[in-house]
Copies of this chain bind each other. A is one copy, B any other.
Amino acid sequence: MPPQKNLEIRLRCWITLEGEKFFGPGRMQLLLGIQQEGSISKAAKTMGMSYKKAWDMINDLNARGQQPYVILKKGGEMGGGAELTPHALQVIELFKNLNAQLKNVAEAEENLLDLL
């Protein structure tokens, strides 16, 4: 029997610290936006997110992470922009890798979809 049209396995993976969200696709997207835009406010804008919400996310990563994730350049965010630390880049790589592996498992199990 051919698979039904438009059946898809969807995945979401995130990391909690003390039971609260610490890292996930939203924060990763924000970090990638900061890397691209060099600014928290510009990155937030491209995501349709308030500056306050973006800053709260970055502040939480910086405060609860083992090392800072984002550093404000001279003049602070409004004056000098922001950049990712090597630590943030490493976490992004590992999280992307985890998601790619999960996606591989899901794709290998797509035969499940023929049944549903």
Residues of B within 8 A of A15 (CB): 7-10, 112-113, 116
Check A90 for interface membership: any CB of B closer than 8 A: yes
Chain A positions 3 through 17: 1 when the CB is less than 8 Å from some CB of chain B, otherwise 0: 011111111111111
Q: Is the interface of A mostly helix, strand, loop or mixed?
A: mixed
Contact present for A102 and B106 (CB under 8 Å): yes
Residues of B within 8 A of A36 (CB): none
Contact present for B8 and A16 (CB under 8 Å): yes
CA–CA, A90 and B112, complex, Å: 10
Contact present for B13 and A11 (CB under 8 Å): yes
Count how many chain A residues have C-beta atoms less than 8 Å from C-beta atoms of the other chain.
37
Check A49 for interface membership: any CB of B closer than 8 A: no
Q: Which of A50-58, A74-82, A93-101 contacts its partner?
A: A93-101
| A→B interface (CB under 8 Å) | 1, 4-19, 22-23, 65-66, 87, 90-91, 94-95, 97-98, 101-102, 105-106, 109, 112-113, 115-116
Closest 6 CB pairs of A and B: A12-B12, A94-B112, A6-B18, A98-B109, A8-B16, A101-B105
Q: Mind listing 24 A-B residue pairs with CB under 8 Å?
A: A5-B18, A6-B18, A7-B15, A7-B17, A7-B22, A8-B15, A8-B16, A9-B13, A9-B14, A11-B11, A11-B12, A11-B13, A15-B112, A15-B113, A23-B116, A65-B116, A66-B115, A94-B115, A95-B112, A97-B109, A98-B105, A101-B105, A101-B109, A102-B102
